A and B are shown apart, each in its own frame.
Chain A
Amino acid sequence: MADAALVDPGIAPARPPGWRGIVTDWSSDQRAFKNVSWGKAMMWIFLLSDTFIFSCFLLSYMTVRMSTTVPWPNPSKVFALHIGGVEIPLILIAIMTFILISSSGTMAMAVNYGYRHDRVKSAVLMLVTAAFGATFVGMQGFEWTKLIMEGVRPWGNPWGADQFGSSFFMITGFHGTHVTIGVIFLIIISRKVLRGDFDREARGFFTSRKGHYEIVEIMGLYWHFVDLVWVFIFALFYLW
């Protein structure tokens, strides 16, 4: 996605440490964030904006949970599975969370190998990340199916407040969409890594800009963000 010039960390002038350094950077010419490429800066700012979206979703969920007069269904019962005759609360969600957090680990390793130009390892680790992500979405699909079979709908459910189903499908759906988009891009980028596009700085199909291994890291920023958001959803929706 990015040109060699765009990801060039460039020459950063010497600066004093700490807060004075930040002031120096912001009052300098050319760049406010020294050593940050355009692509990385753009992803960070996008994630800031996306944080506001997820925050609004979660705050809205908490508001309707307070505004409704009907009792809220008990999440640890709703999200329990019968395994071997025992009812285990939140077991599926626990596994999903574990998988998603593990995928952050493989992603971080992929970034590391990417910068070492180790094409195969980087691409394989990204594909493993994508597989973890796809598993997560698949298990979410299983959970949705189970709840729908039990009669949960966006407009109502057998156990209590209608807003339970509405918030559940909306928030997990929106997060799941993020994961799905991430999986798609992980596959696309890992293919480029494997093919060696970033070693020969091949130009992007749409953007016609030179590719660079930094895109793996930018992808990683997005992926870690999606994981982090899940932690909040897990805490505020499932554990509360």
Chain B
Amino acid sequence: MVDTTIGAAGVIQPAEVKDVELYHPKSWVTKYVFCQDAKVIAIQYAITALGIGLVALVLSWLIRLQLAFPSSFSAIGPTDYLQFITMHGMIMVIYLLTALFLGGFGNYLIPLMVGARDMVFPYVNMLSYWVYLLAVLVLVASFFMPGGPTGAGWTLYPPQAILSGTPGQDWGIILMLASLILFIIGFTMGGLNYVVTVLQARTRGMTMMRLPLTVWGIFMATVLALLAFPALFVGCVMMLFDRILGTSFFMPAIVEMGQHLKYGGGSPLLFQHLFWFFGHPEVYIVALPAFGIVSDLISTHARKNIFGYRMMVWAIIVIGALSFLVWAHHMYVSGMNPYFGFYFATTTLVIAIPTAIKVYNWVLTLWRGDIHLTVPMLFALSFIVTFVNGGLTGLFLGNPVVDVPLSDTMFVVAHFHMVMGMAPIFVIFGAIYHWYPKVTGRMMNEALGQFHFWVSFLGAYAIYFPMHYLGLLGVPRRYFEMGDMAFIPQSATTLNIFITMAALTVGFAQMVFLFNLIWSLFWGKPAGSNPWRATTLEWQTPETPPGHGNWGKELPVVYRWAYDYSVPGAKEDFVPQNQPPTPRAA
């Protein structure tokens, strides 16, 4: 007992700032609607992101139906198809993945894991959600405008994005750009909060090198987002002016339907550079939180400390920095100076080094661990294999010589769905199964979870493995139908039907997941405060779900890193971060 106080006063620095005073909600509205508590904001973010993600999921079914059974559905025309693929892509990447990882998990986990009472500026944090919601509503509105949403492809390349041949030229593109601008404004308000909270509001004893990797991943992803979104913001503003005011930032001289348009002198490549200066870090904005979360899931469910914690942190930082140097590997066929290809291929392949460090460390964490095949663990394991798969095809596409023939084929679609579609979404599922008990106080149903996992995991491979093959055959992406192209064999059609069947099955499994989410809220097994016997601070809160201010009267004090599992000589097979060192016999 004496030693604990020595530990607290001697080894651990006294608090540098006084404890904060929180805003205490006075009514139902300020408690649940316009709420400043990061945990409620996180749930609002998550529900909105999952809601709009559901729309994108349904769009993917329609895309698949059209690809498997071309011209069998009178309701799906070429225009609709282009709109579906555009909105599917944009919603999934930005409004679901980015918002859920940073707005959802970031808001919930950062304050709890660093031992803070809330984000540093709860009011700004609240505004962040409401601007995000507005962005989503503007996006949804584009479905109901004359001409429908834009069909420019999620990359929104000008000149075609704002010309009359592209669906949604009237309103769709305007609302899309406006929605993105709003999203970026909203995200910036939240993102500033996440970064400052991690840097400046950690509890006593919580050094940067004791942060759980989840926090490191989300923190670094937020830094990337704060530096990458400006490029998209500028691109959106300029394209909006091109569309509304008739400026020619991105528009060269163009003849459309025999008419010389009033545009001239702009640079379409400029947009591609701006877009991908955002777009490539965006891949890591989605991937880094997944890296972080998966490290924690694996360590907890294998009852072993993460292998090479410091290397894991540095890998996250190095990947983040490199992600700003590789953007034009998306542009090998764009007509930019071919010599750039050499530079961008080199930087791209260099990223494989820190990424490989992470993968090896995950595997070495599992090595001789006490692996519990719980649902979160299954999803974490599936992330590793899926990510390795997608990462390896990334090495193909990073090389200009291999990329040029594969550009704009189904191979690319298969690659990025594996690496930044399936892999991060598996982590999201794993993370939801893992932290649901903390958020609600109840476990999610294990049997339904296992069903959800196996159908999603095997289904994902059934969908995307054949797609690589289609891509190697030369089947182009974004085409409404193939028609009678001589180089596409009949078997490709059969394969397309198979992929669609798999996709619909996986889609059905997601309904089971949603059912589980709601069912467990009422009838799930009560979880207790630390069902996974985990070490990190969020499991050590006095209440479950954590109350307003997270920690009751006293802030926790951290004495150790986040990975003290199976420590020899310890009473339990885990030692929480806030457990003082045991008194030495003397």
Contact = CB atoms under 8 A, between A and B. Distances in A.
Q: Which of A4, A49, A166 has the most chain B CB atoms closer than 10 A to its own CB?
A: A49
Contact of B16 (A12, A39, A45, A155): A12
A41 B207 contact: no
A145 interface: no
A154 B241 contact: yes
A56 B235 CA distance: 9
B123 A207 contact: yes
B266 A68 contact: yes
A236 interface: no
Contact of B207 (A8, A28, A34, A170): A28
Interface stretch (A57-65, A81-89, A91-99): A57-65
Contacts of A49: 188, 191-192, 226-227, 229-230
Contacts of B209: 27
B18 A155 contact: no
Given A29-B205, A38-B120, A166-B248, A67 B267 contact: yes
A42 interface: yes
B202 A29 contact: yes
Nearest to A174: B237
Contacts of A52: 227, 230-231
A56 B248 CA distance: 17
Interface string B178-220: 0000000000100111011001111111111110000000000
Contact of A60 (B21, B245, B249): B249
Given A30-B13, A41-B199, A6 B205 contact: no
Contacts of A32: 199-200, 208
A5 B274 CA distance: 41
B15 interface: yes
Given A29-B12, A31-B199, A163-B266, A3 B237 contact: no
B192 to A, nearest CB: 5
A30 B20 contact: no
Contacts of B192: 42, 45-46, 49
Interface string A1-26: 00111101011110000000000001
Contact of B249 (A53, A163, A207): A163
How many chain A residues sit at the interface, stated as a range, is 35 or more
A45 B195 contact: yes
Contacts of A163: 247-249, 265-266
B231 A10 contact: no
Contacts of A174: 237
Nearest to A36: B200
A38 B121 contact: yes
A45 B230 CA distance: 13
Q: Which of B202, B210, B235, B248 has the most chain A CB atoms closer than 10 A to its own CB?
A: B248
B265 A11 contact: no
A207 to B, nearest CB: 4
Interface in B368-406: none
Q: Which of A13, A30, A52, A209 has the most chain B CB atoms closer than 10 A to its own CB?
A: A30
B233 interface: yes
B29 interface: no
Contacts of B262: 155
B476 to A, nearest CB: 29
Given A33-B199, A45-B196, A48-B227, 8 more contacts: A5-B20, A29-B204, A31-B16, A31-B200, A32-B200, A56-B277, A67-B266, A68-B264
Q: Which 3 interchain pairs have the tightest Cβ spacing?
A: A68-B265, A52-B230, A166-B247
26 contacts: A5-B17, A11-B14, A13-B13, A27-B207, A29-B210, A29-B558, A30-B15, A30-B200, A36-B200, A42-B121, A42-B192, A45-B226, A49-B188, A53-B233, A60-B238, A60-B249, A64-B265, A68-B266, A162-B247, A162-B264, A162-B265, A166-B245, A166-B248, A166-B249, A206-B123, A207-B123
Interface of A: 3-6, 8, 10-13, 26-34, 36, 38-39, 41-42, 45-46, 48-50, 52-53, 55-57, 60, 63-64, 67-70, 154-155, 161-163, 165-166, 170, 174, 206-210
